[in-house]
Amino acid sequence: MELKVQDLGTIGYGLALALQEDLVGRIAAGRAEETLLLLEHPPVYTVGRGGHLENVLDESIEVVRINRGGDITYHAPGQLVGYPLLNLGRRGRDLHHYLRFLEEVLIQTAARFGVVARREAGLTGVWTAQGKLASIGAGARRWVSMHGFALNVSLDLTGFQRIHPCGIQDCRMVSLEELTEAQMSMPAVKDTVAEIFQKLLTEWLPLAEGVFASDPSL
């Protein structure tokens, strides 16, 4: 089945969450197709199930606790947020593999723009030699995925200085624009993510060790 991709522009966190919850129920019931939501959020901090509010150092920005994995992260315009709603029930019910899948999408996206990105042993997300480029926090309901990834494209990174990103102290965050020293086009990044996501989704069956070919452990 072809993945449906929806570009929502800039949308409030609560509205995006309500849309996810509606789609999850309809996909689980077989009444909607799998969907990738691509969007940007106004400034907001989100905290996962196991997150710690003490990692918030600035109380002037809205904080939302949600039912995904991971700790705290920051969303703002200039960051590409992706919420894939996939039926993991027919893909092996392997959340570990799903997280590696999301990392691979972002690693290949970064490569398209000349940025070398990688996984970091024992952590979820995407890193570069200069710092962390993308955060990932996923959840599932009735084995339909929720939440997803946040790729730093061109946002003002100072918002990350007011938290411990993903609960990691002294975690330097970077963006594609900073790393390439070139102005980034959000529509171009969205198109690239959508293309790579669809391609890798058709190759979903796990490879050796349940990871993808560019994983450095292979």
Residue positions annotated with a catalytic role = 166
Is the Cβ–Cβ distance between 37 and 28 less than 8 Å?
A: no
User: Backbone phi, then psi, for 120, in 5-degree steps?
Assistant: -120, 125
* CA–CA separation, 125 and 134 (whole Å): 6
Residues 6 or more apart whose Cβ sits within 8 Å of residue 108: 196, 200, 214
Helices (H), 29-175: 95-112
Which position has the token pair 């409030």? 12
Contact 171, 135 (CB under 8 A): no
Structure tokens at 13: 């966190």
Segment (H or E) for 84: strand 79-85
For residue 132, the one-letter residue type is K
Residues 6+ apart with CB under 8 A from 36: 3, 4, 5, 6, 82, 83, 84, 85, 194, 197
| Residue 105 CB neighbours (<10 A) | 30
